[in-house]
Amino acid sequence: MASAEVNGAVSHMTASAGQGTLASGAANRGVPVPESADRDALAPGAAVPESADWDALASGAAENREPILGAISHNPPMSGDRAGGASAEGEAAASAREAVADAVIRIEGLHKCYGAQEILKGIDLTVQRGEVVVILGPSGSGKSTLLRCVNRLEEATSGHIWFEDTEITDPSTKINKVREHVGMVFQSFNLFPHLTAKKNVMLAQEHVLKRPKEEAERVALEQLERVGLRERADYKPGQLSGGQQQRVAIARALAMDPHVMLFDEATSALDPELVRDVLDVMRSLASEGMTMMVVTHEMKFARDVADRVIFMDGGVIVEQGTPEDVFEHPQSDRTKDFLGHIA
């Protein structure tokens, strides 16, 4: 079935948070959203099409207009020439193999076109395990498109993307299996408005990972604790602030034991006073060693937390390096101009 149809169904079932107005979404549109979140009521074939994308739905990936970010870490990026010209023998080759082995996301020669318009013009990027990669760039530079391609919410026009050993861009890859390990947090939270925070965090665990209810509940409470919301477990999204809803969305992603977390402007829809708590959660994830790709306009966060900062413009990576490299010694005029504008 066309993914658009699935995504359409999904987005009907999820609230469209926009500027923090999440609670008023799905149930008001005449869509048959069940009041109870139990397995049967939400089973494929009930309120959603048979091919409903449970991974996307339950992990919050339903909002396919949203981008995904990733994190990169301490090792040098592995781009198209990832072996760095090393021969099959010797230390260089061995270390290249090691780097590939520890890559969580590897992107080679990624192009994405919409019609005649080329949006991504050859992206090479590797995110190592434990890395926090922050992606910056002006509006329209392709940041969200890049993240969407990483999770195959958008199909690459050409090029290759791997998640660990699995080629995401191989049409035969079961993308839902991959998405089980890729946590996504978008600007809009896509929580089910009629379910409590705890139930929202349990849903994908039960439906996608097939965890027994008791285990899903235990994990949900652990993850809500992790984001500082244990005491709000029984609140529904409409009873939570935007920042709290976003933290529930993060807990939902974490409950799936992700190998990488992708954040696309996770704080952009929040009132300024609510941003800090969400960023604090992201900081603590980074300090715990979570591999993260983060698209953000929060420059302080980028400076403090990123292992690598990537500056994109016009569908290409213009420049990348440590936060100090990019912020203090930008090489490209485009980077300087961008940083000058946001300073």
Q: How many CB atoms lie within 10 A of CB 272?
A: 7
Residues 29-68 that bind ligand ATP (CB under 6 A): 67
Q: Is 75 in the site for ligand ATP (CB under 6 A)?
A: no
Going from the C-alpha of 114 to that of each of 107, 111, 138, 203, the distances in angstroms are: 19, 10, 19, 34
User: How far apart are the C-alpha atoms of 340 and 123, rounded to whole Å?
Assistant: 25
Task: CB nearer to ligand ATP: give 60 or 142.
Answer: 142
Site string for ligand ATP, 107-126 (x = CB under 6 A): -------x----x-------
Q: Among 68, 61, 58, 62, which Cα is nearest to 209's? A: 58
Question: How is residue 262 written in tokens?
Answer: 């992708």
Site string for Mg ion, 91-130 (x = CB under 5 A): ----------------------------------------
Q: Is 144 in the site for Mg ion (CB under 5 A)?
A: yes
* Stretch of residues binding ligand ATP (CB under 6 A), selected from 50-58, 138-146, 211-219, 321-329: 138-146
Q: Is 4 in the site for ligand ATP (CB under 6 A)?
A: no
List the one residue from 145, 169, 190, 245 that touches ligand ATP (CB under 6 A): 145
Q: Which does 321 bind (CB under 5 to 8 A by kind): ligand ATP, Mg ion, none?
A: none
- What is the helix (H) or strand (E) element at residue 162, kind and residue range? strand 158-163
Q: Among 301, 304, 315, 311, which Cα is nearest to 341's? A: 311
Task: CB nearer to ligand ATP: give 155 or 215.
Answer: 155
Q: Among 203, 202, 239, which Cα is nearest to 224's? A: 202
- Please give the residue ranges that form the binding site for ligand ATP (CB under 6 A): 67, 114, 119, 137, 139-145
